Amino acid sequence: MPRIVIDIPTKLVYETSLSVRISDINFAGHLAHDAILTLTHECRARFFHSHGWTEINVEGKGIVVSDVAIVYKSEAFFPDDLQMQLYVDQVAKKSLDMVYVITHKHDGKEIARAKTAIVFFDYSERKACSIPGVFLQAIGEKESK
């Protein structure tokens, strides 16, 4: 099976700092693989919060994650300070990709890259819906494709 490659898009939309928690550490003493996904969720939730939204309320619409990919680059340990960058790519009518780059804050060494495919979802209708205009504006898009 070929290796997963996650390219870094050009459209950076958000940055935040996080620390490795003791609960993020696995039996080998380093940042656990499943903790990477939790960190991406925290970054995404902070991005939404920075615009006054939640993941279930952007102009009345929410999101679902339809797929995930993670590429591990190097170790991190408790209580390392991390920098997370959030990029967007592949913006379509109802979906987009969010790409996360996680680095050590002190030296910039890359720890991991992750991608989540995000589909906007109308929870009252229980179906996918168009990306809200306010979200498109926030990520620098004029209209969905």
φ/ψ of 77, rounded to 5, equals -135, 160
Query: Do strands 110-122 and 95-104 pair parallel, antiparallel, or not at all (unpaired)?
Result: antiparallel
For position 46, which CATH number holds?
3.10.129.10
Asked if the structure places residue 107 within a domain, the reply is yes
Tally of CA atoms within 13 A in the half-sphere of 64 that contains its CB = 10
Asked if the structure places residue 96 within a domain, the reply is yes
pLDDT in tens, 8-51: 999 999 999 999 999 999 999 999 999 999 999 999 999 999 99
Asked if the structure places residue 42 within a domain, the reply is yes
Asked if the structure places residue 78 within a domain, the reply is yes
Instruction: Report percent pLDDT > 70 for the chain.
Output: 98
Domain residues for 69?
11-138
Asked if the structure places residue 1 within a domain, the reply is no
pLDDT in tens, 84-143: 999 999 999 999 999 999 999 999 999 999 999 999 999 999 999 999 999 999 999 986
- Domain count for the chain, please give it: 1
pLDDT in tens, 69-95: 999 999 999 999 999 999 999 999 999
Asked if the structure places residue 74 within a domain, the reply is yes
Stated pTM of the model: 0.95
pLDDT in tens, 45-72: 999 999 999 999 999 999 999 999 999 9
The whole-angstrom separation of Cα 83 and Cα 107 is 10
Asked if 100 and 115 touch (Cβ cutoff 8 Å), the reply is yes
Asked if the structure places residue 2 within a domain, the reply is no
What mean pLDDT is reported for the chain? Answer: 97
Asked if the structure places residue 3 within a domain, the reply is no
The whole-angstrom separation of Cα 89 and Cα 3 is 20
